[in-house]
Amino acid sequence: MFSSLKKVFSKPRYITIAVLVTVIVFVFVVWFPNLRLIKEIIFNSGVSSISKISFLFSLFGSIKTNFSVISSIIAIIIAIMFGLNISLITYYIKTRQVIKSKSGTHLSIGGLISGILGIGCASCGTFLLTPILSLFGASGFLTFLPFGGEEFGLIGIGLLLYSSYVTLKKIPEPLVCEV
Amino acid sequence: MENQNTNEQKNLMISVAIIIAGILIAGSVIYSKGSNQPQDKKAPDVAQQQESTDAVRPISEEDHIKGNPNAQVVIVEYSDFECPFCKRFHDTMNQVMDEYGPTGKVAWVYRHFPLDQLHSKARPEAIASECASELGGEGAFWKFADRFYELTPSNDQTEASVITKIIKEIGIDAIAFTECLNSGKYDQRVEADVANAVETGGRGTPWSIVITSSGQTLPLSGAQSYESVKQLIEIALSEE
């Protein structure tokens, strides 16, 4: 398994994919609660470009203020794991000349969704989980969870780990014509 | 063969990009368009109402205001006494007022947004803060809020003795305070704040709206860092 990992990440292209996806997921997670504000600032012609950039960067500080310690760790792990995962799946699909790796992709997406549900400020509803539960009038359900919804983040990490494991295991398998 | 590989690689990258974009967009749509406000059995049914930060209730004498009421920039915060992130943001806002308050350019308005399904104690605590204000004046409200956020462990873990302690510290008559709590006279006021928070698009706490001198309203969700709030204030102040 480690040889497969080494094989994939010895190619700069796959490191780039992993880093890019990690950065995209992380930025999304941090900016997510303020997408409306970001839109207002970005499209405001009266605001200088420097102010816009400074403001966007300042929002990264919310990883400390708007996340619990566990939640921010989960967010970072989910972003890294998803980046690694997409990179591994890309390698697998490319080398196998197959259109998709069903199990790996599904697990990976499931892991990301579950992970995103579990991060942020579930206890105060500024992220996804509470609003989704509220749709069903069930946000009180969170009070029965020992970690207030962060369990979903852990499930997400588990799914992403399993997805990586499945993909890594498949990479060295010999090419055969399936019947 | 090389061309085929390149094409497949391109297709693959496009697929991956679409998957990521799809997830991100789906999440955004669910978050920004859904009728997903914190559920409160007393809250109005806002599912069919248009949410807009412009719906923020005009600042009035009834509001709790720190700083110059005619400031260029007014930050209206909707907060829940049991939310741990409101506790953090309260410190941030105090820091903001320490810097901008003396200049008269920024004012902070505190409104209530107890998330009843998550924090059953938050609403009675909001009412307690109103009683503190009635019996001790506007200064007592801010003293109550500052001290409460300092002492509360958050997440509905606050003991009733915390309020008793604060009331004693502020010098409010305990009997009059209990009478006020039992009178129900501030139920409507807290409910009005909750309804307005929801109308403006609040889904969780802390939920803030930054109002500029031209009347533009900017939504700020969550306990953002001091640097973010400062940047936002500077943007609002630079508005012509």
Report pLDDT digits (tens) over A25-62.
899 888 988 999 999 999 998 899 999 999 999 999 99
For residue A165, give the nearest of A119, A96, A98, A111 by alpha carbon. A111
Contact A22, A79 (CB under 8 A): yes
pLDDT at B65: 97
> Could you give the percent of chain B with pLDDT greater than 90?
75
pLDDT digits (tens, 9 = 90+) for A107-144: 667 666 766 665 655 545 545 565 565 555 555 666 66
Lowest mean pLDDT among A16-20, B45-49, B113-117: B45-49
Contact A90, B16 (CB under 8 A): yes
Of B92, B204, B226, the CB nearest to A121: B204
Of B20, B118, B154, the CB nearest to A143: B118
pLDDT at B31: 44
pLDDT digits (tens, 9 = 90+) for A2-15: 788 888 899 999 99
Contact A4, A89 (CB under 8 A): no
Is the pLDDT at B5 greater than 90, yes or no?
no
Name the B residues in 217-236 with CB < 8 Å from any A CB: 218-228, 230-232, 234-235
Lowest mean pLDDT among A156-160, B153-157, B208-212, B226-230: A156-160
* Interval B220-224 mean pLDDT: 93
Is the pLDDT at B169 greater than 90, yes or no?
yes
Question: B226, exposed or middle or buried, with CB in 10 Å at 0-12, 13-18, 19+?
Answer: middle
pLDDT digits (tens, 9 = 90+) for A48-106: 999 999 999 999 999 999 888 888 888 899 889 889 888 988 888 888 766 555 566 66
Q: Chain B within 8 Å of A110 (Cβ-Cβ)?
A: no
Quote ipTM for the complex.
0.76
Q: Would the CA dihedral through B30, A55, B77, A143 be positive or negative?
A: positive
The vertex-A74 CA angle with A73 and A75, nearest 5°, equals 90
Contact A69, A125 (CB under 8 A): no
How close is the nearest chain B Cα to the Cα of A126, in Å?
A: 5
pLDDT at A103: 60
